[in-house]
Structure 1
């Protein structure tokens, strides 16, 4: 692909696609008409702070039926063995032992990706992560175990911070970027979120999970079990959606380095959670829920990301695709009473692309990802049983997460779909931006681009090649979310 970077201009590539002369707008019958990519990139139509081809829209690209959607319990997810046993019985209980034996055989055989240095690399990244556990933070506060709470404005002898919602949103985006978040979106907490999107229970163990309830209080709080609860205020609140990057190049070394790719995001979210909590506290406002802790979420992370424009839905359904770095990364959301200016959903053509691209499904070893040509409102049966782990109310592609989880445990690792996704590419070659911008404008070339990805060997690579790369800090391209090296507002 590097030859493309050095020899093909934007205008030349548009000629290859048959777009030059006709105009981008002419292809899709839309106005305004741009005759080449340079002209469009200099236009005020570009979306500030995002790639120029990302359009803000009033409704997300995945269809939503709020009447169908119900609050989902945090413990009804396919990360839990109890849920997976419903569908695959004792195979679930045997899976980890099989996977451990498979990995030991790979270590003993000194296979690529399973050598001593690879094992040491993973061990080094499993150091204790503070600031993201329920023991460090609760539903709406810190116990001071690993984090000293910041002073409140009252303790500092000054009034709480005030400003316009637009100023507050810009302030939060800047702070969260500094603390390790990549993409940030904002939402009003409406009755839709309270009645349909927020989890009914915020924790994973049904025996101890406390319900999320709404009360007319100024500040969120929690009470312990037995009969404990997680309280969210009924007053006007806002939600912050945050995406933290993953390392594309680690994900592209799946399955051998996939556990490390997954782990690579944890140090960031621990710092992000603690710093964001203290920042809001010092301003005079509250944070509800934890960034990075599976046990104290407001929701699954995907819905607010899609509604606030952080990303779009995908065929795989577990991850939300972002225009900047594709599938790798993690999504979190927190509540706050700091008034924020909501951000709109986006249309970058990615979910439409998923309808014609089956690459993640084609590479899925257990066949967990849907191969349907179109998304659906109906959730299919899972191994003959009703699906109780997915949320109703979106026209989506449905994934058999219990078999995904079971196969991953049996194999010792997987995550091939993350690494093989057509959008899991870095932005060094100019051609990637051109392809993404064309996808956002027209679907005429989606099939061609999928074949092109195969021809140029996108996707997962031989694991030992990772050691030869000259990667940025944390293996992540943090400049991907900045404009002109951060010097452009």
Structure 2
């Protein structure tokens, strides 16, 4: 106890105290310290063929009802939509665990409470109360090095609610990570203008607005492992909503210091999460295809993004061994009730349908069967993510000090680690936990996010 107390006292004494943003920007703690076993690399760990990669039409994703109807047929789509509508009142009346009235109320209402300006992608055109620019206030705009700007943006975004922040730069190849067409049918185009704008047919990104800021918002491991139920839906929806709020805040912050910023306003919009995450080093690609993974939190997060003209130092792609680990693991594929995740050992260039984007050698998922299961069960499953060995609470010595470092440097023990995950049942509940509902957690933290094992108490 004496050693622990001394350690806590020393940590408190050493903790930095910032009096203003200038101090935060100049502090080394404004930079990003990844775990020691995470390697920076020159390109993502999966192969990319930019020559064959097209600009992707967001409307091809199965979450678009039109694309889904084309794939499964009108009759089957209407049957599933009707079934989805009938299941909710039926399961509430049956008091089905995870689908009770209070469970639905939790999942249905996390979208309320948006702040000012949550309308569209552009700071001045879509905000009810846009921040004043330096020109409007007769001031000189902010000026600093790209490295200083990155530290500043990290400090601001973490205060606004982001977890991890990374950056890559748009060029003739990486622009292909921006959707060619958005889900509402508007084209993304690039023009020599000072500020982005939107018309009835297009969204314009200025050519100088080329720094893509990728960031994460965490979800609750306790709730994700309760998928596919309203608890998993609730934490996912909360992540999306918190991400949108961070986008709005950082967009207006950047506008007020004198730069343009195009912001994501709806989920899965503007920039593709997997590609942007991999290029920036925010995450590494994985078997689950639609998502990617961070070394700190696995797939337990939502990814959001903004694009800005503020000069920022790009961050490099990372390799913490997870893409190689996925070739052995396959637990997400085993957990998928729809069989939508491929269990092939080796990645492939071959897509499974128009919802997949060609040009990468990866693990392509079946969007049609995935979304069909969503309609049969609940809108948003999450079983693949809760089954992932990297979804465990990471602040436990065996994970951070042994397993993750070994996975990062060699694949020899991957099979053993998968077997250990199954043996210890990390994706499931203990016998005692299984007898309690989520509502029985006595000391739930904010947003029910706790990455330390064994800290939650049950009533």
For this structure pair, what is the TM-score category when the shorter chain's length is used for normalisation? 0.7 to 0.9
Q: Name the CA distance, whole Å, in 2 between partners of 1:310 and 1:261.
A: 21
Q: Name the CA distance, whole Å, in 2 between partners of 1:107 and 1:242.
A: 36
Per the alignment, residue 132 of structure 2 pairs with: 151
Structure 1 contact 126–263 (Cα < 8 Å) conserved: yes
Alignment equivalent of 2:249, drawn from 275, 279, 283: 275
Q: Name the CA distance, whole Å, in 2 between partners of 1:161 and 1:458.
A: 48
TM-fit CA distance, 1:422: 1.4
Mapping of 1:340-355 within 5 angstroms?
340-355=312-327
Per the alignment, residue 342 of structure 2 pairs with: 370
Listed one character per residue, the Cα deviations across residues 241-266 of structure 1 (whole Å, up to 9, x for unaligned) are 11111112111111122221221213
Per the alignment, residue 260 of structure 1 pairs with: 234
Per the alignment, residue 83 of structure 2 pairs with: 98
TM-fit CA distance, 1:144: 3.7
TM-score (norm 1): 0.80
Q: Name the CA distance, whole Å, in 1 between partners of 2:427 and 2:278.
A: 25
The reply to whether residue 197 of structure 1 matches residue 173 of structure 2 is: no
Structure 1 contact 288–336 (Cα < 8 Å) conserved: yes
Q: Which stretch shows the higher mean deviation, 461-470 or 92-101?
A: 461-470
Per the alignment, residue 47 of structure 2 pairs with: 63
Q: Which stretch shows the higher mean deviation, 53-62 or 412-421?
A: 412-421
- Change in CA separation of 1:48 and 1:289 when aligned onto 2, cut-off 3 Å: closer
Structure 2 contact 385–391 (Cα < 8 Å) conserved: yes
TM-fit CA distance, 1:478: 8.2
RMSD: 2.2
Query: Unaligned regions of 5+ residues in structure 2, if any?
Result: 1-30, 454-459
Listed one character per residue, the Cα deviations across residues 30-73 of structure 1 (whole Å, up to 9, x for unaligned) are xxxxxxxxxxxxxxxxx951111111111111111111111011
Per the alignment, residue 289 of structure 1 pairs with: 263
Q: Report how many aligned residue pairs link the two structures.
A: 414
Alignment equivalent of 2:290, drawn from 309, 318, 323: 318
TM-fit CA distance, 1:356: 0.6
Structure 1 contact 132–269 (Cα < 8 Å) conserved: no
Query: Unaligned regions of 5+ residues in structure 1, if any?
Result: 1-46, 381-386, 481-489
Per the alignment, residue 446 of structure 1 pairs with: 414
Q: Name the CA distance, whole Å, in 1 between partners of 2:355 and 2:86.
A: 29
TM-fit CA distance, 1:99: 2.9
Mapping of 1:371-410 within 5 angstroms?
371-380=343-352, 387-410=353-376
Structure 2 contact 40–317 (Cα < 8 Å) conserved: yes
SS at match of 2:425: coil
- Change in CA separation of 1:99 and 1:52 when aligned onto 2, cut-off 3 Å: same
Q: Name the CA distance, whole Å, in 2 between partners of 1:63 and 1:156.
A: 48
Q: Name the CA distance, whole Å, in 1 between partners of 2:89 and 2:396.
A: 38
Structure 1 contact 112–464 (Cα < 8 Å) conserved: no
Q: Name the CA distance, whole Å, in 2 between partners of 1:125 and 1:458.
A: 27
